[in-house]
Homo-oligomer: A and B are copies of this chain.
Amino acid sequence: MTEFDLIARYFTRAPQQAVLGVGDDCALINPSANMQLAISSDMLVEGRHFFSDVSPYALGHKALAVNLSDLAACGATPVAFTLALALPSIDEAWLLAFSSGLWALADAHGCELIGGDTTQGPLTICITVFGEVPRGRALLRSGARAGDDIYVSGTLGDARLALDALQGQIELPPDLLAQARLRLEQPSPRVALGTALRGIATSAIDISDGLAGDLGHLLKASKVGATVDTGVTMNLIASRAHIHWSKALFGPQKQLQMVLSGGDDYELAFTAPPAASGAVHAAAASSQTRVTRIGMIDNEPGLRLVDAQGQRIPVSFTSFDHFAR
Residues of A within 8 A of B (CB): 1-4, 6, 19-20, 23-31, 33, 35-43, 45-49, 70-71, 73-74, 76, 80, 82-87, 89-90, 114-122, 124, 126, 128, 130-131, 133, 135, 138, 140-142, 204-206, 221, 319, 321-324
Contact = CB atoms under 8 A, between A and B. Distances in A.
A46 B135 CA distance: 40
A90 B84 CA distance: 23
B25 A117 contact: no
Nearest to A130: B39
B70 A25 contact: yes
A25 B40 contact: yes
Contact of A82 (B27, B41, B90, B323): B41
Contact of A322 (B23, B38, B83, B118): B118
B126 A323 contact: no
A241 to B, nearest CB: 27
Given A322-B118, A323-B3, A26 B74 contact: yes
A71 B25 CA distance: 7
Nearest to A46: B121
B141 A24 contact: yes
B26 A321 contact: no
A28 B141 CA distance: 13
A4 B131 contact: no
Given A48-B121, A119-B48, A124-B124, A73 B26 contact: yes
B45 A124 contact: yes
Contacts of A323: 1-3, 6, 87, 89-90, 120
A56 B102 CA distance: 34
Contact of A124 (B43, B90, B319): B43
